[in-house]
């Protein structure tokens, strides 16, 4: 009978050690690094909320023309720089094409709130950077989304109306770091 107690104790100790290793791997796997291409799904946040998105509007994706983008949950909003590489193919290789972004965050009840957006630095194709500050927002330490779009073939008609074409290039999971 004493041997059985030793065996049970060894098994329990082994489970505890394995459990600790698994926890360490999960924690290390959630570190944000700009330039990693591992956007998958909303998994972790200091302010967790189940996403209310019955129509799939905020489904994560990245067009193959975006060859580099921030890792899932990269911090945005306190001057951090996010980097994208875009090959130009979805905007007809228009050298004047612009990339723009739209921001959204997830509230405690799971609803998604739009926050505005802007243009990403650069034109045409190549490396694009985005660095901005977010002030006075309830988005602090929350998960959210950055939608990337391309605008191309722009012109002004005789009535001074601006025309052009837009294409969605990706929906990426980010987390917000609000400037204070």
pLDDT at res. 30: 31
Which of left, alpha, beta for 136 (phi over 0: left; psi -120 to 50: alpha)? left
pLDDT at res. 68: 96
What residue spans define the domains of the chain?
Answer: 1-30, 61-176
pLDDT at res. 136: 66
The pair of structure tokens assigned to 54 is: 């019955």
- Whether 171 and 59 have beta carbons less than 8 Å apart is answered as yes
The pair of structure tokens assigned to 40 is: 């998958």
pTM of the model: 0.71
What count of residues does the chain have? 180
- Whether 94 and 88 have beta carbons less than 8 Å apart is answered as yes
Helix (H, G, I), strand (E, B) or coil at 5: helix
CA distances from 63 to 123, 124, 147, 160, 174 (A): 18, 16, 12, 32, 17
- Whether 129 and 120 have beta carbons less than 8 Å apart is answered as yes
CA 70 to chain centroid, in Å, comes to: 7
- pLDDT by residue for the chain (180 residues), tens only, comes to 444 444 334 333 333 333 333 222 222 233 333 334 444 444 444 456 689 898 999 999 999 999 999 999 999 988 889 999 999 999 999 999 999 999 999 999 999 999 989 999 899 999 999 988 777 678 888 899 999 999 999 999 999 999 999 999 999 999 998 876
pLDDT at res. 171: 97
CATH fold of the domain at 61-176: Immunoglobulin-like (2.60.40)
């Amino acid at each position: 009978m004493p041997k059985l107690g030793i065996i049970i104790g060894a098994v329990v100790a082994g489970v505890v050690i394995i459990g600790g290793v698994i926890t360490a791997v999960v924690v290390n796997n959630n570190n944000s690094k700009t330039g990693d291409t591992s956007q998958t799904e909303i998994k972790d946040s200091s302010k967790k909320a189940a996403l209310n998105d019955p129509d799939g509007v905020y489904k994560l994706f990245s067009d193959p023309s975006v060859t580099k983008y921030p890792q899932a949950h990269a911090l945005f909003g306190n001057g951090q720089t996010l980097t994208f590489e875009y090959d130009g193919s979805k905007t007809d290789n228009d050298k004047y094409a612009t990339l723009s972004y739209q921001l959204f965050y997830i509230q405690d009840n799971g609803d998604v709130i739009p926050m505005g957006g802007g243009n990403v630095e650069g034109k045409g194709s190549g490396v694009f950077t985005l660095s901005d500050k977010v002030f006075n927002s309830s988005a602090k330490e929350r998960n959210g989304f950055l939608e990337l779009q391309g605008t191309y073939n722009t012109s002004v008609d005789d009535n001074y109306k601006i025309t052009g074409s837009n294409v969605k290039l990706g929906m990426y999971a980010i987390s917000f770091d609000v400037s204070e």
